[in-house]
Chain A
Amino acid sequence: MTEMTHKSSKKIYWRVWFQLLAITIVEIIVAFLPISHSLMALLFTIMALMKASLIAGYFMHLKFEQLGLVYSIVLPLILIVALAAALIPDGSVALLMRLGLGY
């Protein structure tokens, strides 16, 4: 039984590796597309989060840990999102000030 589960997890790792590679290739293609900067940022955020959850979930085994551990690690990360959500608009306001447009 344990033999079998270990065999299958090896397969999973190779599959995750392939998925990471595929998303990376899509990312590089998107980088050369003639689309707006904010759309590109949105696409990269989505794809980076997909890759991050693949790595954390399968390589770091987080998907198979107890829910208590998963929440203890993942929920505090909201603070990083909050920090970015506070600082990046602040940067945009600073840009307006630099350009002398209001504020």
Chain B
Amino acid sequence: MTQEVAFEQEKILKSSWGGGKSPFGVSREKFTMWIFILSDAFTFGGLLAGYGSLRASLPSWPSRIEVFSSFPFTSAKLPLVFVSIMTFILICSSLTMALAVDAGKRMERKSVLKYLLLTIGGGFLFLLCQAYEWGHLIHEGARLTSNPWGVPLFSASFFVITGFHGSHVLSGVIVLIVMAIRVAKGIYDKRGSYEGVEVAGLYWHFVDLVWVFIFAFFYLL
């Protein structure tokens, strides 16, 4: 009889929701990051849905080919070239992040550090590009409440949406710098797992994922 009870107990513990293991097969850290990403997705979803609604309610919207056509160090008009390069930078930094996580699974500390530094470089470059873009548009007269190209809501939604995304990139860069320091110190080698890098990577990929939608619906549409 007692043997039967013990057997039952073991069966419960081995089941998904029995309390013996993580029901989703991931660590607490990773699951929490996923929940955070979900909540952040709602934030950006709200911003983009609001932008869609604003845009649908306006008879005209400034031409993106006219507005997003400047490029540093040249006065030539290159429509959408600069923002395409920004997108390229972010896609590349996502790749190097994935490669850092991959190297972490093989416990190759130097390789993780190399790819993390490349990712930080990409993020930093993206922020520089955004700073240039903002500076340029502000110089041309764009404000939260007005802009020279048309409806005021254009610059309002531009600054709010790209600003929100940019602040996420900035937080991501800071998190990755912390990760790089911890990797360099060998903290994850001592722990026997590079999961911290993986969780930070999830956040970084999410920032790239949000940019996919901002790029498609704000810059290209």
A→B interface (CB under 8 Å): 3, 6, 9-10, 13-14, 16-17, 20-21, 24, 27-28, 30-32, 37, 40-41, 44-45, 47-48, 51-52, 55-56, 58-60, 65-66, 68-69, 72-73, 76-77, 79-80, 83-84, 87-92, 94-95, 98-99
Contacts of A76 in B (CB 8 A): 38, 42
| With contact pairs A24-B84, A98-B59 given, residues A84 and B99 touching in the complex (Cβ less than 8 Å) | no
| Cα–Cα distance between A27 and B106 once the two chains are bound (Å) | 36
Are A44 and B217 within 8 A (Cβ)?
yes
Are B50 and A68 within 8 A (Cβ)?
no
Determine how close the nearest CB of chain B comes to the CB of A34; give it in whole angstroms. Answer: 12
Contacts of A6 in B (CB 8 A): 102, 105-106
B73 part of interface (Cβ distance < 8 Å): no
- From the candidates B25, B31, B49, B59, name the one contacting A83 in the complex (CB within 8 A): B49
The closest CB in chain B to the CB of A92 belongs to: B56
Name the segment of B2-10, B85-93, B168-176 touching the other chain: B85-93
Determine how close the nearest CB of chain B comes to the CB of A74; give it in whole angstroms. Answer: 9
Determine how close the nearest CB of chain B comes to the CB of A70; give it in whole angstroms. Answer: 9
- From the candidates B24, B65, B215, name the one contacting A68 in the complex (CB within 8 A): B24
Name the segment of B125-133, B138-146, B202-210 touching the other chain: B202-210
Are B80 and A88 within 8 A (Cβ)?
no
| Cα–Cα distance between A3 and B16 once the two chains are bound (Å) | 29
- From the candidates A9, A31, A48, name the one contacting B212 in the complex (CB within 8 A): A48
Taken residue by residue from 103 to 116, chain B's Cβ proximity to chain A (1 for < 8 Å, 0 otherwise) reads as 00110000000000
B148 part of interface (Cβ distance < 8 Å): no
| Cα–Cα distance between A45 and B209 once the two chains are bound (Å) | 13
B→A interface (CB under 8 Å): 16, 23-26, 31, 34, 37-38, 41-42, 45-46, 48-50, 52-59, 64-65, 80, 84, 87-88, 91-92, 94-95, 97-99, 102, 105-106, 201-202, 205-206, 208-209, 212-213, 215-217, 220-221
Are A59 and B205 within 8 A (Cβ)?
yes
Can you spell out 28 A-B residue pairs with CB atoms less than 8 angstroms apart? A6-B105, A9-B102, A13-B98, A24-B215, A27-B216, A45-B216, A48-B217, A52-B209, A55-B205, A55-B209, A55-B212, A59-B98, A60-B209, A66-B24, A69-B34, A72-B34, A76-B42, A80-B42, A83-B46, A84-B45, A84-B48, A84-B52, A89-B56, A90-B57, A94-B53, A95-B59, A98-B57, A98-B59
| With contact pairs A73-B38, A83-B49 given, residues A91 and B26 touching in the complex (Cβ less than 8 Å) | no
In the complex, besides A20-B91, A66-B26, 10 extra interface pairs with C-beta distance below 8 angstroms are A16-B98, A17-B94, A17-B95, A27-B220, A31-B80, A72-B24, A76-B42, A88-B52, A94-B53, A94-B56
